[in-house]
Structure 1
Amino acid sequence: MHVPDGFIDAPTSAAAGALAAGAIAVSLRGARKELDERTAPLAGLVAAFIFAVQMLNFPVAAGTSGHLLGGALAAILVGPYTGVLCVSVVLLMQGVLFADGGLTALGVNITTMALVTTVVAYGLFRGLVKVLPRTRRTVTVASFAAALVSVPAAALAFTALYAVGGTTDVSLTKVATAMVGVHVLIGLGEATITALTVGAVIAVRPDLVYGARGLTQRLKLRVDGELVDAPAAAPEPVAARSPRRVWIAGLAASLVLAGFVSFYASADPDGLEKVAADHGIDEKAEDHGLADSPLADYGVRDVDDTRLSGGLAGVLGVGVTVVAGTGVFWAVRRRRTADASPTTTSV
């Protein structure tokens, strides 16, 4: 669903860029409360994992594919503010290194794929976990529903931006219907990936899942015929448990997905590309400003073997994204520590 240059006019792209910049600024402040010494490196890993899985286009209809957007997954694993930053880092790496998503459309892509998906998904997720039984299974079920809804929400956001600043004269009703229809199908894939990933992390380290914090259900005891809350158990000493194993396993999975499994991804156009071609949205699409970059189109220049070229590009992308993401989140974490440090004054 990466919007290329030329789909949206300059004023609307600039307005979306300003909105995206504001969202990132707010997220940088909010992420200070979400990140600690254990979760900061994991946030970088989440960004790298989203990058890897986005390379795995899956078929959703005849001649159409879809891929993970990642907003719901990031928000539930590391928090909504950090989630916006995770997806934004991925989109920046894709646009600059791989010529995927227009440079002038970066604000549009961050608004639709990072901001809208995260806000919608996490809002629905929190609502569901409040009304459903407070169990780990609830987190997985709520993750599925939140991810499912977040994808057509992003499609509607793009349609709204196109209604304001689209560069071609097309039927907005037809565009909205087509976008939502295909992205509901893509949302099913997004929901499945999100639920499986969240469920896998909860199974081994529930303390590392932001959306699962505080969801332990109190035990009930029957006293004199009445059910009363059992005394709260002492909290597990999770602070001393290193997330290293989870980090290594997640990085290994990301490298395998991007470096090997991506070769078998669907070559069909994704939902936006298909709708754009069918309805003439792409009539004024522009070539990417970095179309000649060494890693453009997820291949390494001068490497003739297609499988090797794509695999190397995927591995490089995961590596760059995990380094960039981890650097950003450690900086945010250090800023939180600095803000919390007591200041001394001389008299």
Structure 2
Amino acid sequence: MHVPDGFINAPVSAATGVLAAGAVAVSLRGARRELDERTAPLAGLVAAFIFAVQMLNFPVAAGTSGHLLGGALAAILVGPFTGVLCVSVVLLMQGILFADGGLTALGVNITDMALTTTVVSYAVFRLLVKVLPRRRRSVTLASFAAALVSVPAAAVTFTLIYAVGGTTDVSPGKVATAMIGVHVLIGIGEAAITGLTVSAVIAVRPDLVYGARDLQQRLKLRVNGTLVDAPAPEAARPAPATARTSRRRLWLGGLAASLVLAGFVSFYASSSPDGLEKVAHDQGIDQKARQHAAADSPLAGYGVKDVSDARLSGGLAGVIGVGATITAGSGVFWVVRRRRTRDVSPASTTPATENI
């Protein structure tokens, strides 16, 4: 659903740029409350994983494909504010390095693919985990439903932006019908990927899934008629060395999966246009699309310039993209984490919890 240059006029593109910049600024502050020494490295990995999976277009209808947007996955794994930053980093890397998504449309894409999907999906997710039984399976089910809803929500957002600032005379009603219809189907794929990924992380380290933290039961003792936090039993506390090893294995496993997906599996992705490309062509809203400013870059089109073998070219581009995304994302989250460390009092303590 990457919007290219020329679909939206300059004033509306500038307005969405301001909105996107504000959302990123708010998210930088909010992420300071979500990230700690355990989850900050995971956030950079989530961004790289989203980049890798977005290369895997899957067929959804005759002549149409879809790909992961990633807002729901990021919000549930690392938190909604951090999720906005994860997807924004991915979009920035794609626009600058791979000429995917217009540079003047970066604000549109962040508003649509990062902000809308994250806010909508996390709202749906929080509602569902409150009404579903307090079990790990409920987190997976809520993740599936939240991701499913987030994709047509992004289609609605694009339609609204187009209705205000579209550069062609196509009726917004026609655009809405076409966009929502195909993106409901794409949402099924998004939901499956999100649900499976969240379920896999919960199975290994449920304490690292931001959306599952409320399912941890606080241990309480009644002292003089008042409930107070009880210290966690020593046996329930993982040894620091064991916890670090487990996190390292999860990080390395996620990185390896991202590299394999981007460097090898992406070669077998569907070559059909994605939902927005198909609708734009069929409805004629791409009449004033402009060539990307980075169209001549060495990695434009997810291939390495002057490498003739298509499999090797695409694989190298994918690996470079994963490396660039995890480096940029980890750098951002390291800075955010450092700001949090300075803001938190050394005397602060963490209440005891019992893992789900």
Q: CA deviation at 1:129?
A: 0.2
Q: Cα distance 1:239–1:187, how it changes in 2: closer, same or farther (>3 A)?
A: farther
Paired-residue identity, % = 80
CA contact (8 A) 1:78 1:209 kept: yes
Q: Cα distance 1:156–1:238, how it changes in 2: closer, same or farther (>3 A)?
A: farther
CA contact (8 A) 1:44 1:323 kept: yes
Q: How does 1:210-221 map to 2 (within 5 A)?
A: 210-216=210-216
CA distance in 2, matches of 1:2, 1:18: 18
CA distance in 2, matches of 1:239, 1:102: 48
Partner of 1:30: 30
Partner of 1:282: 286
SS of the residue aligned with 1:59?
A: strand
Amino acid at match of 2:290: E
CA distance in 1, matches of 2:325, 2:283: 34
Partner of 2:349: none
Q: CA deviation at 1:174?
A: 1.1
CA contact (8 A) 1:12 1:164 kept: yes
Partner of 1:78: 78
Q: CA deviation at 1:207?
A: 0.6
Amino acid at match of 1:8: I
Partner of 2:93: 93
SS of the residue aligned with 2:190?
A: helix
CA distance in 1, matches of 2:130, 2:308: 53
Q: CA deviation at 1:233?
A: 6.8
CA distance in 1, matches of 2:147, 2:306: 38
Calculate the aligned-residue CA RMSD, in Å. Answer: 1.7
Q: CA deviation at 1:339?
A: 1.9
CA distance in 2, matches of 1:90, 1:84: 10
Partner of 2:52: 52
Deviation by residue 1:226-272 (Cα, 9 ceiling, x = unmatched): xxxxx997484258212100000000000000000000000000000
TM-score, normalised via structure 1 length: 0.93
CA distance in 2, matches of 1:106, 1:137: 36
CA distance in 1, matches of 2:341, 2:256: 30
CA distance in 2, matches of 1:61, 1:166: 26
SS of the residue aligned with 1:2?
A: coil
CA distance in 1, matches of 2:20, 2:239: 34
Q: CA deviation at 1:172?
A: 1.1
Partner of 1:118: 118
Gaps of 5+ in 2: 220-229, 347-356
Amino acid at match of 2:58: F
Amino acid at match of 2:43: A
TM-score, normalised via structure 2 length: 0.91
Gaps of 5+ in 1: 220-230, 343-347
SS of the residue aligned with 2:214?
A: coil
Partner of 1:227: none
SS of the residue aligned with 2:60?
A: strand
CA distance in 2, matches of 1:239, 1:121: 34
Is 1:263 paired with 2:267?
Answer: yes
CA distance in 1, matches of 2:232, 2:145: 31
Q: Cα distance 1:40–1:217, how it changes in 2: closer, same or farther (>3 A)?
A: closer
CA distance in 2, matches of 1:233, 1:85: 33
Amino acid at match of 1:108: V
CA contact (8 A) 1:135 1:216 kept: no
Q: Aligned match of 1:299 in 300, 303, 311?
A: 303
CA contact (8 A) 1:40 1:333 kept: yes
